[in-house]
Every structure is written in structure tokens, then in C-alpha cells.
Amino acid sequence: MKLRWNFKASVTIILVIMVNQAYANNYYEELLELEKSMLNGNAFVKKKVDELGQKEKEFNKKESDLYQLLVAQKHYMHSELKEARNVLTSLSKEAQSSDIKAKANITLAGVEHIIGNNVEAFVALDKAINALPAVSRARYRIGILQTSVGIYKEAELFEYALEVGRRLQIEAQKHDDETFLCVANYELGTIELMVGETKMSKQRLLLAKSHCENSDSKLFSLLTESFLAEIEGVEGEPEKSNARLMKVLEKVEAIGWKILIAGTNKVIAENYIRMDDFANAEKFALEAYKTAVEAQDKRRQEQAAGILAQIYSESDKKEEALKYYNEFRELNTENKVRVRQRKLAFDIARRGQL
């Protein structure tokens, strides 16, 4: 049994960009420094958020709102989605500043999207997008646009993803900031990859890589490397692809973001299949599957199940092949329904916002 490669199944990660700006309040600078470092790894984030939580009674309203945003982000990174949703729902209504409300809404959109509350996800996304004129911090504007692109991509609303991606690029060019340019080119490159413009995507991702390397965008540097490696594998260079991905895997495991770990293991497994190394393919596919289940990520779970079905079929392990193939079919059907539901939810949310 052979599974046809589909770039639409490529790893799409919905991220939230953090920000740094100085304020005079007692704890604000410390909170902002932590916000800037939120993607340095789950263990680091948990420790710092918990340490600052011991001082929460001393926070003013502005500090408290930002702290709650960081708490929600911590839950999100640990796949504690219901906890994140509760904090963000409250914050999106009660935060003092337009910036925090908009940021809470776009983060809530990402959470609702993963949980499967599709209408709620697009409603929160539209609230964040509509609030952009009132958002003063450039990195929050970039973050809102970038997360919106990610949600549109996962819903296969590529026209809207491209429209917002272009807005993201304009915003990035306006500030001539390496981090912003890294993010904008990464997002446009992944959209181009998903619609089959591989050559254009590769050029865009190489440009993103140069900007990422000149900025502090550690996570986006790794994401860009992952997509470039995917292209190398599909273009017939699996050894080169895996050499790049092994370095990425070591770093993403240190960060602890399960969705990215699952996606990286998935591509490594695919490359080993191309090299007819089914023992290593099985090892990495099983890790991708396990991590996707832990992250409650049905799309990555579907991809890993499909790869395992192919591996066991090639290895003449019929019982295991049938088990994972049946799971792949079920998840594939669920995910296709989910995409249709997301598109319908998008229409419902838009009508509700009119």
C-alpha cells in the first residue's frame, strides 16, 4: 500500500508571537522579558510563570492582565487547552487595554481551533483582526496576522490565508524588522508550498531563513528548516533532509512543543521510507504517533498512522498494517469533515459578525 504525498498534509503550526517593550511599572518589565522568552521551552516557561505568580497580589491591573496572558500561553504550550481557554475567555472580556484584549482573542482563536470549536475560533479571530487599528504594539499586530494565517491554512481557506499573509508582509516591511520579515516570509512560503508552488516556496523559505538567522526568532528558524527539509525529501534528497531534521529535532525536543516534535518525527520517518530503511522509519513514525496523541492533534495523528500502515505493509506485518490503516482511514474521514466544518464555521462566523 502506497500513500500519495500531499503537501496539504504538511506540518502547520499555529503560533503566537510574543513581544518586548519597556514600561515603568514595578513588574511590567520583568513580565515583558518573560513574554519575549516564552518560546524558549516549556520547563523554562513553567518555572518563570510560577515564580512570578507568587508576586501576583502585588500586580496592578495592567501587570495582572499581562500575567494572565502568560499563564494562558503556558497552558497552551503544555496542551492544557481547556485551562488556556478559561483564562483567555475571561481576559478577552475584562482586560484593560485593547492590545491585551486583541492578543487574548487571537490566542483564544488558536485554542478553540485545536479543540474543534470552529465557529468560536473564527469569531475570536475576527475580533482580533477587527481590533488591529487600535493595537499599538507592532509585535502584537504581527502576531495577530500570523496566527490568523495559520488558522486559515489549517482550514484550507488558502485565499484568505494568502490575503492575510500579504497584509503580514506589508506590516513587516513597514518596520524593516528582521523578526517580522522572518515570520512574514515563512508564512507566505508555507502557503505556496501547500498550493503546490514548490519552487517559489523554496525561494521564499530561503529568504525567511536569512531573516530568521539575523533575528531572535529561534522557533521560526526551526520551522523554516523543517519545511526546507520536507522539500529536500520530496525532491529526492532524503539523506540531506534527515541530516537537517535531526538537528532540528534535538532543538525542538529541548523546547518541548509536542506538535512540532510530532511533525519533525513524521518527516524523518517519511525520509527513511524513501531510503527503504523501515526499521528507522518505524521508530520515528511511532514517536510521531505517540506525541501527536499526547498533543490531541488529530491531523498529525492521522499522518503518523498512515505512515505506520505503509511501513507495516512493506514489512509484511499484516495485522499491524491493517490496524493503522483503519485508524488512518477513520482519522482521514474525521479530518476531512473537520475541514468542511471549519469552512462552514467560517461562513457562520462571518455572517454573525455582519
Instruction: Flag whether 77 is in a domain.
Output: yes
Q: What is the helix, strand, coil percentage profile of the chain, to 5?
A: 80, 0, 20
Mean pLDDT of the 48-75 span: 90
- HEC letters along 281-336: HHHHHHHHHHHHHHCCCHHHHHHHHHHHHHHHHHCCCHHHHHHHHHHHHHHHHHHH
- CATH code assigned at 67: 1.25.40
Number of domains comprising the chain: 3
31 CA to centre of own chain? 23
Residues 250 and 344 in one domain: yes
Instruction: Flag whether 132 is in a domain.
Output: yes
Q: Which of 235, 258, 279 is the last residue of a domain?
A: 235
- State the cell numbers at 197: 508552488
| DSSP 8-state symbol, 38 | G
Look at the chain and count its residues: 354
Instruction: Flag whether 11 is in a domain.
Output: no
Residues 253 and 354 in one domain: yes
Lowest mean pLDDT among 64-73, 153-162, 212-221, 223-232: 212-221
Instruction: Flag whether 7 is in a domain.
Output: no
pLDDT recorded at residue 11: 44
Q: Phi and psi at residue 35, in whole multiples of 5°?
A: -60, -40
Residues 195 and 180 in one domain: yes
3-state secondary structure of 272: helix
2, burial (CB in 10 Å: exposed 0-12, middle 13-18, buried 19+): exposed
Q: What is the tally of helices (H) and strands (E) in the chain?
A: 16, 0
**pLDDT tens digits along 1-45:** 444 444 444 445 555 544 333 333 478 888 888 887 776 666 777
Residues 151 and 57 in one domain: no
Chain-wide mean pLDDT for the chain? 87
Instruction: Flag whether 14 is in a domain.
Output: no
Residues 156 and 186 in one domain: yes
Residues 125 and 167 in one domain: no
Model confidence at 113, pLDDT cuts 50, 70, 90, reads confident
**pLDDT tens digits along 176-210:** 889 999 999 999 999 999 988 999 999 999 999 99
Q: Which of 120, 136, 152 is the last residue of a domain?
A: 136
| DSSP 8-state symbol, 123 | H
Whether 56 contacts 67, CB under 8 Å = yes
**How many angstroms separate the CA atoms of 2 and 286, rounded?**
18
Q: Which domain holds residue 305?
A: 242-354
Assessment of whether the complete model's pTM goes beyond 0.75:
yes
Instruction: Flag whether 326 is in a domain.
Output: yes
How many of the other CB atoms lie within 10 Å of CB of 156?
16
Give which of 173, 114, 178, 119 is closest to 147, Cα–Cα.
114
Q: Which of 184, 211, 235 is the last residue of a domain?
A: 235
